[in-house]
Amino acid sequence: MRLRIDFGYDGTDFSGWAAQPGLRTVEDVLSEGFGRILRTDPPRLTVAGRTDAGVHARGAVCHLDVLPEAYAALPGRSTRSPAEAAVTRLNGVLPADVRVHRVAEAAEGFDARFSATSRRYLYRIADAEAVQDPLRRRDTLWLRSVLSVDALNAASANLLGLKDFAAFCKQREGATTVRTLLAYSWRRASDGVLEGTVVADAFCHSMVRSLVGAVVPVAEGKRGVEWPGEVLAAGRRDPAVAVMPAHGLSLEEVTYPPDAKLAVRANQARAIRTLPGPD
């Protein structure tokens, strides 16, 4: 049977999501936790979004396949459901920088990665006009300059839509960089911190931090509003676009279609995407 896991983590002390020999990763820690409570070898996990070292998550989702009898045995002698027991027991063995919020039996056709319709990320910047709160130093980038919110939004708007984001991705052989950027906007929170919300159907490696790195120079007055769009159109990495520090970024939400459309969405997402040709 397949389980859906909703969880979050402080990415500061992790070398990202993906398991790597000799490094502490979220995947290893969570998989080992499941192995302990299920009394099995650490199971394989499939995650909706593979975050880099230092990136956080509040709304991460993954799935794993388990034997029904192992899942049913989780409550022991208690009156809790297997799902309730899984959350309690997992959080009892996991370190404090990883918390499981929910465990549920997945609907037929569910795939945490391929069934997803969107991922929403948040990037926090405390510029010279914001309160640089030391209690938020692990999830907020501090800058000495003053950033214009209007300029951030104007530059971000030029990047929306179905496009090839090769200029903002670390390319992998055989992987497409075509994505649909559904939303990209900025606001000042009550403490003056700039919060950038970035939503897409999917992201490629380093894409969000590069998208932020493309608009910050515009907000500082160092580049014109049209510059990020020009970089995008060039279709190649530009050394002038900084990949912003990881700690300002967090995965906030992953969305899925209704249960009846999960399998269809997964099949669509597995297909290699290309841009439509000219009429």
Which of helix, strand or coil describes residue 37? helix
Neighbours of 8 (CB within 10 A): 19
**149 and 155 in contact (C-beta within 8 Å)?**
no
Task: Please name every residue paired with 125 in a beta bridge, in sequence order, or none if there are none.
Answer: 141, 194
Angle at 19 between CA 15 and CA 23, to 5 degrees: 45
Query: Residue 153 class from Cβ within 10 Å (0-12 exposed, 13-18 middle, 19+ buried)?
Result: middle
Catalytic residue among 6, 10, 28, 52: 52
Tracing tokens 């993906």 back to the chain, one arrives at: 18
Farthest-apart Cα atoms in the chain, separation:
65
Residue 111 annotated in active site = no
Rounded Cα distance, 269 and 272, in Å? 8
Angle subtended by helix axes 149-157 and 227-234, to nearest 10: 30
Pairing of strands 56-65, 249-255: parallel
What residues contact residue 96 under an 8 Å CB cut-off, 6+ apart? none
Q: What are the structure tokens assigned to 111, written together? A: 């795939």
Which of helix, strand or coil describes residue 278? coil
Which of helix, strand or coil describes residue 25? coil
Q: How far is CA 220 from CA 20, 256, 259, in A?
A: 37, 37, 45
Which positions are annotated as active-site residues? 52
